[in-house]
Structure 1
Amino acid sequence: MMPNAKASRLVILVGMFLVLAVINGAIWQKERHLALGEIVYLELAPVDPRSLMQGDYMSLNFAITSRIQTTLDQESNSPNARNGNVVVRLDDQYIAHFQRLDDGSPIGDQERRLQYRLRNGYVRFATNAFFFQEGHAERYQSARYGQFRINDQGAPLLVALYDSELKSLGSLVR
């Protein structure tokens, strides 16, 4: 075998190893986030009824996003703001209630920081859709809350949807 062929194989093997290591690292981080993250519920807000159920997923919007958007519009020093944190207060059921945009000041015992993103002019938390098994759309029509797991940085991961009594309707399809 020629020396160039050996070097090429080595480069390919090292590249494949690095790709697999990065992918497995990302999977491990998400699994850890889901296992150890603190539970927070965000109330769902109405979405366009025509897009509520589209095949195997439900479009999501959260009530808190309108408060964030209004506050951003009133207080924004930068019209190009893209991402940020909001401070929410958790009630006894761990339902998040808008307090203020995060300015870096200390937060109270019942307060948490949640990361949000601005995409195409809309405030988003983790996702704007909930995927479910085909044929199970009726199960999720009574959804009123999204359950998230947040990590120490306030990054939310959507776990499941819940009804108005905080009873689980089902988890994300994986």
Structure 2
Amino acid sequence: MRKAGIVLVLLLVLAGINYSIFRTEQVLESGQEVILELAPVDPRSLMQGDYMALRFALGNEVQRALWKQRDAAGEKPDDSSMPPLTGRVVVVLDKQDVARFVALDSGQTLAAGQLRLEYRLRHGSVQFATNAFFFQEGSGQQYEAARYGLFRVSESGQPYLTHMLDEKLETIGKTRNLTAGVKD
């Protein structure tokens, strides 16, 4: 009886993991496309091995709005006093699907063309999905032209970084298509 219980628990865990993978693949295949503009990063951390450090301009706007919100509440608005948090921001997409800041999400009704994006505030920095983009060894030079990150966003607002884009919004490099398992 004990072995049957262990097997049942193991099957439930595996089913949960597979369902999570399936949901992520669905977002990567059919989620809303959103483009975020990169913000300048310390050049020493731009290329560190086989990845590049990322910051997004939208993150800077979210951070300013958080500071303003804390200042209005009478709290000292600085990076060192900002506790880690997870939140959502309301954005609107321009004609090229580049996200523009509207407001911090307070549960308001969204206007036409607006959507919510999840963010995380960690160590005084706002992050969307990740703070790094990994690439194949030896291919880092082509990513120096990166100016935007292309995300697929779930209905709940969770972003998944899929590609880096240049100033013309064209995909940089070849990345593996996670849902089909073939090269782009």
Give, in whole Å, the separation in 2 of the partners of 1:141 and 1:163. 9
| Structure 2 partner of 1:103 | 106
Residue type at the aligned position of 1:70: R
The partner residue of 1:150 within 149, 153, 156 is: 153
2:27 alignment counterpart: 33
Query: Partners of 2:12 and 2:156 in 1: how far apart?
Result: 26
- Equivalent of 2:18 in 9, 19, 24: 24
Q: Say if 1:144 and 1:161, in contact at 8 Å, map to a contact too.
A: yes
Q: Please give the per-residue CA displacement for 1:58-116, whole angstroms capped at 9, x wherever unaligned.
A: 11100111111111011135864712111111110000111111122222222211111
In structure 2, give the amino acid aligned to 1:25. Y
Counterpart check, 1:15 vs 2:5: no
Structure 1 pair 134–52 and aligned structure 2 pair: CA distance change class (3 A): same
| Cα distance, 1:169–1:21 mapped onto 2, change above 3 Å | same
Count of aligned positions = 168
Question: Which 10-residue stretch deviates more, 139-148 or 108-117?
Answer: 108-117
1:4 — aligned with what?
A: none
| TM-score, normalising length: structure 2 | 0.84
TM-score of the two chains, using structure 1 as the length reference: 0.89
Change (3 A) 1:152 1:171: farther
Query: Which has the larger Rg?
Result: 1
The root-mean-square deviation of aligned C-alpha atoms, in Å, is 1.8
* More strand by percentage: 1
- C-alpha displacement at 1:11, in angstroms? 2.7
Q: Which ranges of structure 1 fall in alignment gaps of 5 or more residues?
A: 1-6
Equivalent residue number for residue 43 of structure 1: 37
